[in-house]
Chain A
């Protein structure tokens, strides 16, 4: 199963990004193969509609869960209909490595 994590940078020591739509990078992590992929977010500086556009990116990778600090208003109903689980982690000090370790417990 694939999980998307929002990240501030493009390596494992980067911190979790608190925003979903305008995060710097998406980390697509596969819990079975342990493979991961860092995707730069083209909607980082978007004026509006960053959320739905970002949902499209992660949904095209067949992600089942998204871990982020916050989800905007437009996204909730969209992810609900796509049956993607939202996980709100209000701990911006956590690094991507730590989040992945939590997933593998």
Chain B
């Protein structure tokens, strides 16, 4: 019997870099091997340690259960630790993921909109320039 298939993890901000390389002095070390950090593990670290969300908040953002998020997160930490200690390259790729941009709701004109440029934070409504914005989070499922 085949196992139950993975649930796809939602990624809202793909990484700006495709990996990190170790160095000594000004020399980049090659040949020490590499660890493959999955995209979902990158996203878990971003949500938990950069945006400082709790595991249950992060699990909602990634559309998985809280225990699953914790499992992804601890696997990410183990991989990052391995790379740091043994001087391996980190390559961010792979994983069972789908991309979704963040959605916002403007309270002044009542429209929903997404943020296609993930590097820049949105400050005002693209339609009425209102500044009363709320993060609509998982509301995309309703609009679809």
Contacts and interface: CB of A to CB of B under 8 A. Distances in A.
Given A65-B126, A80-B116, A102-B128, A88 B99 contact: no
B126 A73 contact: no
Interface residues of B, number: 20
Interface of A: 65, 67, 70-73, 76-77, 79-80, 83-91, 99, 102-103, 105
B5 interface: no
B56 interface: no
Given A80-B99, A85-B115, A86-B114, A105 B129 contact: yes
Closest A-B pairs by Cβ, 6 of them: A88-B112, A87-B113, A83-B116, A89-B111, A102-B128, A85-B116
Contacts of A80: 99-101, 114, 116
Interface in B88-105: 98-101
B119 to A, nearest CB: 11
B109 interface: yes
A96 to B, nearest CB: 13
A73 B144 CA distance: 6
Contacts of B99: 77, 80
A91 B110 contact: yes
Given A65-B126, A102-B128, A83 B117 contact: yes
Contacts of B128: 102, 105
Which of A72, A80, A85, A88 has the most chain B CB atoms closer than 10 A to its own CB? A88
B85 interface: no
Contacts of B101: 80
